[in-house]
Chain A
């Protein structure tokens, strides 16, 4: 028995609504996550300062003796938290009275927290910053790029343009596709065994981190590069070959330039993934507390996501806003990378 037309149209409407509702639900929840992080994180960009009554600059520099301005000093995290959100924490009633007194006299203020961007990690939430993590992330990604980009693009070129079609190539392809979907934590185990225990590289260094992330990005780069190469039109190659170009000339003068936007997009997106990755770096011992930015690829290094993870485990309340603030910076960096990828795709798309 066929249901009536009215019933069928009713069903149609409800089906469409269900789709719309689930889309709204998904976007709403993701919006909640972002809004929550932003709400918690933006106070990290400001810090509480108190005017100090000791004009010690007078003593330090005799030529500036007319300089009457009092230096502002950074308030402790408890004061900072109370001043921003009214959360009393460990403050005694007397201290709260003093803060209110200072507030009346305009001796306490919120100012932009340059320290958060320019300082390295610290045990004190009000002094901790993300500079060390950013430098570490940069060095690590540099190593990742240097290792994974040539190797990944080379492998893809070989498989797509040179490899004979036989069982071995098939097996290799299957392996690479599989590797692209292997959990990232396993690459951390590989890095631990191979780079640290076998090759004896220094433990929490940008070199080991970058190589491990490079291994992780390699299959993704191979897969995306192959897609980009195979979407180059066959007629382009045939025309070039027909005009007498060698295989190599076809490859370097026509195929690669045509596929370059796709290749670059894939590489940037896989670097973005490597930038946000934490689990494999925990495996290779990058969890240590490091208070100075690294000066080379062999120095002890921390990266931004690991720093966020360490802060999030800290029991001190002041680190919650620092964690959210650092997550915001990480998300902005990822968004920039994504925008660059979209820009390249749109700009060079033919």
Chain B
């Protein structure tokens, strides 16, 4: 009897733990939505999502102006694109090499190394981008008589790509390594070379998982904060030029909340509007990566 009683107690305790985790989720959504709606009461959601200038200020009439998110979106997209151009081909090739070509002893050293590198705080990369790579790129561009802003999207994007690379290749390596071995044996038995096996059999077979790795990396790049805070600037330019300075959603959240802190200010509330958009965007990517892809998964072995 005692043991049954104890079992019930433990059961209830663990249920409370699980409920707490759900409350956290609901808490995030509710607090973000609540503050975001207070913001949208002052600035119309249409102006916010489609406005072309980002220069938040409040007029003397109390009207809030300059909350157009498009320049921030373009900036985020530009930096993320550069990061993905670096990380995706390189990360996939690294994953292929580690999974298919490297000897098992090399793999056993490099795989944990990659995972450790993926755990380096992004602050470190940001510092590197701001103090070493930015002057280097600037000098390099001057040599070819190109004007390059010291807070260029190129600089932040390159370093972010390097930051994403270990994460991306670790995920992609998992996807490739967990394919059943008879796929490789079958293909090679038919006379294909290793590269043909990889390109025509393994990559298509692992495609859903590779896609998930790509989407998770993408969501990480979009939500990345410290690198862009330190290496990209605050100037909200509406441009696709990777050589000029742009700003991102996360930079502006940090900027709006680390300044003066009146909670009833439209500027402070704007941070929650931005946070809400960021949450929806990354949520969509994560759901797509974790569940949407499953539909296309083929079962082998």
Which residues in A have some Cβ–Cβ distance to B below 8 Å?
8-9, 11-12, 15-16, 18-23, 25-26, 29-30, 33, 36-37, 40, 150-155, 157-159, 161-163, 172, 174-179, 181-187, 189-190, 192-194, 197, 215, 218-219, 222, 246-249, 269, 272-273, 275-279, 282-283, 285, 287, 305, 308-309, 312, 320, 323-324, 327, 330-331, 334-335, 338, 342
Contact = CB atoms under 8 A, between A and B. Distances in A.
Interface of B: 3-4, 6-7, 10-11, 13-18, 20-22, 24-25, 27-28, 31-32, 34-35, 89-91, 93-94, 96-98, 101, 110, 112, 116-117, 119-128, 130-132, 162, 165-166, 169, 193-196, 198-199, 216, 219-220, 222-226, 229-230, 250, 253-254, 257-258, 261, 263, 271-272, 275, 278-279, 282-283, 286-287, 289-291
B124 A331 contact: yes
Given A19-B97, A174-B291, A218 B253 contact: no
A178 B31 contact: no
A335 B18 CA distance: 32
Nearest to A330: B121
A29 B162 contact: yes
Nearest to B216: A181
25 contacts: A12-B195, A12-B196, A15-B199, A16-B101, A19-B96, A25-B90, A26-B165, A30-B162, A33-B162, A155-B17, A155-B21, A158-B11, A172-B18, A175-B22, A179-B25, A185-B223, A185-B254, A189-B31, A197-B263, A246-B7, A272-B119, A273-B119, A278-B225, A282-B257, A331-B124
Contacts of B17: 150-151, 153-155, 157-158
Contacts of A15: 194-195, 198-199
Identify which of B24, B32, B219 gathers the most chain A CB atoms within 10 Å of its CB: B24
B265 to A, nearest CB: 13
Contacts of B117: 30
B225 A22 contact: no
A335 B124 CA distance: 14
Contacts of A247: 7
A215 B24 contact: yes
Contacts of B101: 16, 19-20
A172 B31 contact: no
Contact of A309 (B18, B20, B226): B226
Given A26-B90, A182-B286, A312-B127, A172 B250 contact: no
A273 B96 CA distance: 27
A27 to B, nearest CB: 8
Contacts of B224: 183
Contacts of A272: 119
A186 B124 contact: no
B290 A174 contact: yes
Contacts of B279: 182, 186
A107 to B, nearest CB: 33
A323 to B, nearest CB: 6
Given A154-B18, A272-B119, A23 B35 contact: no
Given A163-B18, A276-B120, A323 B127 contact: yes
Nearest to A284: B257
